[in-house]
Amino acid sequence: MNSALITGANRSIGLETAKQLSERGYFVYLGSRDLAKGEETVKELAEKGFQNIKAVEIDVTKPHSISEARNIIAKEQGKLDVLINNAGILGVNPQTASDTSIEHIQEVFDTNFFGVISVTQAFLELLKKSDTPRISNITSGLGSLTLHSDATWKYYGVKGAAYGPSKSALNAYTIVLAYELKDSPFKVNAIDPGYTATDFNHHSGPGSVESAAAFIIKHTLTDENAPTGQYFSHDIEDGTEISPW
């Protein structure tokens, strides 16, 4: 049975992605900062018929937590097939460039950028033991510098000094990692599930968590001929689903 780890998976898009991967026959590690909450979520899922989902405590900002999660998965699976770096925070609002504190910006980057790097590096050796390793970094359309520079873009006015830049940095890291692993079976991509109605945005987005999760899975469980180092977005409406960087 193939295995997957999803960080930040005890609610919203991460949770729905765990459910859909379980339905596809994956053993899913549902990453949660609070193990008790994660285990309660798994219990509720089991009561609804979902199988092969286990809560694992992982705080992407704490190296010891990441290491413990890695040890659990290594002992139980011996490898990891899919890593979905989903955990993320928005940070304070508003996020003006002129007066948002360095501390607030660093807090967002610690989770959205440095946390992804820490988790990815920790699990890389387990992923290398898979025949079809996949790393999906969950990003946002707000990480696109090209779109942010386009006054006709529908989200042009949504600017922030912490969240968007943290996703731009994540996109850049994705490109570098994909290049480094290009001669291996790895597929490493940045995936924007689109503006989705979640707790993250007070359910203001037009998209559903079901559609967002399906989009993530579509561009994660890909074959050997699929692209790597790409930026897919559910909000791109030209049929390509590829966002400009």
Known catalytic residue at 163: yes
Q: What is the pLDDT of residue 154?
A: 93
Count the neighbouring beta carbons within 10 Å of the beta carbon of residue 226: 13
Query: Rounded to whole angstroms, how far apart are CA atoms 212 and 128?
Result: 27
Compute the residue count for the chain: 245
What average pLDDT does the structure give for the chain?
Answer: 96
Say whether 130 sits in a helix, a strand or coil.
coil
Instruction: Tell me which amino acid residue 79 is.
Output: K
pLDDT band at 205 (very low <50, low <70, confident <90, very high): low
Q: What is the pLDDT of residue 95?
A: 96
**Digit-coded pLDDT (tens) for 73-132:** 999 999 999 999 999 999 999 999 999 999 999 999 999 999 999 999 999 999 999 999
**Burial zone of 59 (CB within 10 Å; 0-12 exposed, 13-18 middle, 19+ buried):** buried
The answer to whether residues 119 and 33 touch, using CB atoms and an 8 Å cutoff, is no
Mean pLDDT in residue range 13-25: 97
Give the domains, in start order, of the chain with CATH numbers.
3-233 (3.40.50.720)
Half-sphere exposure of 98 (CA within 13 A, CB side): 0
Residue 117: CB partners within 8 Å, gap ≥ 6? 173
Measured at the CA of 33, the angle between CA 30 and CA 34, to 5 degrees, comes to 95
189 forms beta bridges with: 136
Mean pLDDT in residue range 4-31: 97
**Digit-coded pLDDT (tens) for 51-68:** 999 999 999 999 999 999
Phi, psi of 184 (to 5 degrees): -125, 175
The answer to whether residues 121 and 67 touch, using CB atoms and an 8 Å cutoff, is no
Place of tokens 């946002």: 140
| pLDDT above 80 for 198 | no
Query: Side by side, which strands form the sheet with 231-233?
Result: 53-57, 27-32, 3-6, 82-85, 134-138, 187-192, 231-233
| pLDDT above 70 for 210 | yes
pLDDT band at 70 (very low <50, low <70, confident <90, very high): very high
Q: What is the pLDDT of residue 195?
A: 86
Q: Which of 26, 155, 156, 163 is catalytic?
A: 163
Query: Rounded to whole angstroms, how far apart are CA atoms 27 and 106?
Result: 34
pLDDT band at 203 (very low <50, low <70, confident <90, very high): low
Which pairing describes strands 187-192 and 231-233: parallel, antiparallel, or unpaired?
parallel
Task: State the pTM of this model.
Answer: 0.96
